[in-house]
Structures are given as structure tokens and as C-alpha cells.
């Protein structure tokens, strides 16, 4: 494997089409596509300042690296990426990729990050200013994720989330086959139009959660006082270990809670209109 240590590069495509390359202490300054069309790349303690450094790459490992704000859209159309102990201060990271493993990564400018990616494994990652993160993704496994940004996980499929804090409105819209365990979800309009969304031991806050959902399941969850007008037109099986402020026009299923502030069943309820609402 070729080694490049403590060197600096700039301009367009300085390391284009390189293979079997180890970088340490390298700085990639302003420019474009520094490592485009590469494979088998390892980068340790490197700084990336230019745009599009890793496009069309196959198998690369990044450890203790920094992506500055100028390194926008840094990882696209690539396969088999491992990123560890890295700071990413650039938006629009990770697009149309297959095989992403993130460990101990901070993304303070995470807008439009992780779009149309597959086979994602995330552990101990934080993402801020993360509007529209994780759209159209498939086969996602997440643990210890702290998210601050709206419109997350839209159209995402086959996802498992554990031990996370998600501060996000309009989360999980049109998602399919998503399960969230032991997490806190804060934000309005949670899970609208979702299919097979399952929440286990989660704390939920925000107005009008879990409406228009198909095959929605809640197991031993807690709903905060502001989680009002819940379950409108949803097919739901829910056990909620708290009071629910208000339930509105659930379509079918069974809801159990400690108590209810208000139950709204009006002329707009949709067939079969047979949801059971019980106290336990």
C-alpha cells in the first residue's frame, strides 16, 4: 500500500483514480474531487477542505479526520465506508451509497445528509441542523443517535433505532418497517402516513402524533401532555403507560392508556371506525 504522510494538496483531482493508498496527516485544500474514482483508501488524522473529495470510491476508512464546511457533498456514489472519531462540519454528506458504518462521529451541519443510502450502521453519532436527514434510506441500524433537525427519516425503510434522542418534527413520514426502542422522540406530526411503525418503551412529545398510520404499534410508551390529537385515521395497537391528552378519530385497532383528557369521535371518522379505547 502506498503511503502519503504529512503532505498537502489542492486544486482539481490531485489524487484521482488512486488505489491502495494510506494517508496520514494529509491536508486537502480548496479544489474539487481530490480522491474521485479511488478504492482501498485509509485516511488517518487528515483534513478535507475542498468539495467532493470522495465520489465513486470503493472501500475507504476514515479515522480521526476533519471535514470543514468547504468539503460539502464529500461522500457520494460510493461503497463500503467506515468513519470513526471524525468531525464533519459540511452539509449534504453521504448520497446514494451502499455500506456506511459511522462510529463516534459529530455532524454539526447535517442538512440533507444521508440520502438514498443502503446498509447503514450508526453508533454514537450526533447530528445538528439536520433537516431532511436520512431520506429514502433502506436497511438502517442506529444506536445512541442524537438528532436535532426536522423532516427526518422520510420514506426510509427497514430501520431499527435504539437508545436515541430525536428532536425532529415530521419524522418518519411515509416510512415503512421502522422500529424504535428505548428512545425519546420530540416533535410535531410524528409518523404520519407510515406503515409498520413500531415504538417500544419510547417517550413521545409534540402535537398530532401518529396520524394516518397503517399497522402502527406502541408498546409501553409514554406520551407527554403536548402529544394531543393523536392517532387520527390510524390503524393502531397501543399500550401507553401514561395519560393521553386527546385521541381523535382512530380508524381501527385498540388503544390502552392510564387515562384520557379527551376522546374525539366525530362525523369525520373513517370506516371501519371500530377502534377500542380502554383504560388499564
Domain's final residue, options 149, 169, 193: 149
Paired sense of beta strands 66-67 and 79-88, if any:
parallel
Other beta carbons within 10 angstroms of residue 105's beta carbon come to 21
Q: pLDDT digit string (tens) for 223-243? A: 999 999 999 999 999 999 999
Tell me: do 133 and 235 sit in the same domain: no
Cβ–Cβ < 8 Å for 231, 247: yes
- Residue reference for cell 484521482: 16
Grid coordinates standing for 267?
Answer: 362525523
Other beta carbons within 10 angstroms of residue 57's beta carbon come to 23
Report which of 192, 167, 161, 164 is spatially closest to residue 179, judged by C-alpha positions: 161
Tell me: do 16 and 136 sit in the same domain: yes
Domain's final residue, options 97, 118, 149: 149
pLDDT of residue 223: 98
- Which residues form the domain of 181? 155-280
| Domain count within the chain | 2
Q: Each residue's pLDDT tens digit in the chain (280 positions)?
A: 899 999 999 999 999 999 999 999 999 999 999 999 999 999 999 999 999 999 999 999 999 999 999 998 999 999 999 999 999 998 899 999 999 999 999 999 999 999 999 999 999 999 999 999 999 999 999 999 999 999 999 999 999 999 999 999 999 999 999 999 999 999 999 999 999 999 999 999 999 999 999 999 999 999 999 999 999 999 999 999 999 999 999 999 999 999 999 999 999 999 999 999 999 9
Secondary structure letter of residue 34 according to DSSP: T
pLDDT of residue 36: 94
Tell me: do 167 and 101 sit in the same domain: no
Omega prior to 82 cis, within 30 of 0:
no
The span from the CA of 201 to the CA of 86, in Å, is 31
The span from the CA of 14 to the CA of 190, in Å, is 45
- Residue reference for cell 450508526: 122
Domain's final residue, options 104, 119, 149: 149
What pTM was computed for the model?
A: 0.95
Tell me: do 184 and 73 sit in the same domain: no
Phi and psi, residue 2, nearest 5°: -70, 140
Tell me: do 165 and 249 sit in the same domain: yes
pLDDT of residue 7: 94
Long-range contacts of 152-155 (CB under 8 A, 24+ apart): 153/178
Tell me: do 10 and 145 sit in the same domain: yes
Helix (H) or strand (E) holding 41: strand 39-44
Phi and psi, residue 81, nearest 5°: -110, 130
Amino acid at each position: 500500500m502506498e503511503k502519503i504522510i504529512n503532505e498537502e494538496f489542492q486544486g482539481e483531482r490531485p489524487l484521482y483514480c488512486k488505489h491502495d493508498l494510506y494517508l496520514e496527516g494529509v491536508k486537502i485544500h480548496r479544489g474539487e474531487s481530490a480522491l474521485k474514482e479511488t478504492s482501498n483508501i485509509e485516511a488517518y488524522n487528515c483534513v478535507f477542505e475542498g468539495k467532493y473529495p470522495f465520489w465513486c470510491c470503493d472501500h475507504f476508512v476514515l479515522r480521526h479526520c476533519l471535514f470543514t464546511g468547504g468539503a460539502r457533498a464529500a461522500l457520494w456514489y460510493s461503497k463500503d465506508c467506515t468513519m470513526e472519531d471524525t468531525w464533519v462540519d459540511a452539509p449534504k454528506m453521504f448520497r446514494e451509497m451502499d455500506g456506511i458504518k459511522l462510529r463516534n462521529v459529530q455532524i454539526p451541519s447535517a442538512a440533507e445528509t444521508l440520502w438514498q443510502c443502503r446498509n447503514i450502521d450508526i453508533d454514537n453519532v450526533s447530528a445538528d441542523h439536520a433537516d431532511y436527514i436520512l431520506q429514502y434510506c433502506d436497511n438502517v441500524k442506529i444506536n445512541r443517535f442524537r438528532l436535532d433537525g426536522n423532516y427526518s427519516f422520510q420514506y426510509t425503510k427497514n430501520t431499527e433505532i435504539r437508545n436515541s434522542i430525536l428532536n425532529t418534527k415530521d419524522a418518519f413520514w411515509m416510512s415503512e418497517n421502522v422500529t424504535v426502542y428505548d428512545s425519546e422522540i420530540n416533535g410535531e406530526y410524528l409518523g404520519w402516513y407510515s406503515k409498520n411503525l413500531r415504538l417500544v418503551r419510547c417517550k413521545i412529545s409534540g402535537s398530532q402524533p401518529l396520524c394516518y398510520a397503517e399497522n402502527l404499534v406502541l408498546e409501553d410508551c409514554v406520551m407527554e401532555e403536548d402529544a394531543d390529537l393523536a392517532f387520527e385515521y390510524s390503524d393502531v395497537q397501543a399500550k401507553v403507560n401514561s395519560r393521553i391528552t386527546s385521541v381523535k378519530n382512530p380508524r381501527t385497532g385498540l388503544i390502552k392508556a392510564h387515562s384520557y383528557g379527551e376522546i374525539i369521535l366525530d362525523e369525520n371518522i373513517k370506516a371501519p371506525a371500530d377502534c377500542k379505547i380502554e383504560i388499564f
